[in-house]
Homo-oligomer: A and B are copies of this chain.
């Protein structure tokens, strides 16, 4: 069972992610965001308002969870609920200018690789990136 390279790689990746937990938490705390609030901002597109249900799908969670998350983003002035023009059951989420700013900061913080990756020789980094592009492509 231990002669599986993909499995070993996955375990190593899990360790890499877990070790990065404090850095992510600190970065989000500095922006005043809880994890799912940050995730929601990333899923939302400032240029393309989307319904609550689309956000739930993007966050891989239930519609009912999204209500509270959006409540808090709205209270922070980062997002607004707007009635949909065609279906009056739907509420469309608009990212405010301030929300777009914070969103960019979140994106930057989350895209910063942890030390172990940042320290990779350029060749290795490219090999890794290309391999992942192919795998997820």
A interface, CB within 8 angstroms of B = 4-19, 21-22, 39, 60, 110-114, 116-120, 122, 124-129, 131-137
How close is A132's CB to chain B, nearest CB, in angstroms? 4
| Residues in B whose Cβ lies below 8 Å from that of A13 | 13, 16-17, 132
Most chain-B CB neighbours within 10 Å: which of A5, A19, A120, A136?
A: A5
| Residues in B whose Cβ lies below 8 Å from that of A4 | 125
How close is A114's CB to chain B, nearest CB, in angstroms? 7
Q: Report how far A16 CA is from B14 CA in the complex, Å.
A: 11
Q: Are B15 and A17 closer than 8 Å at their CB atoms?
A: no
Q: Are A10 and B126 closer than 8 Å at their CB atoms?
A: no
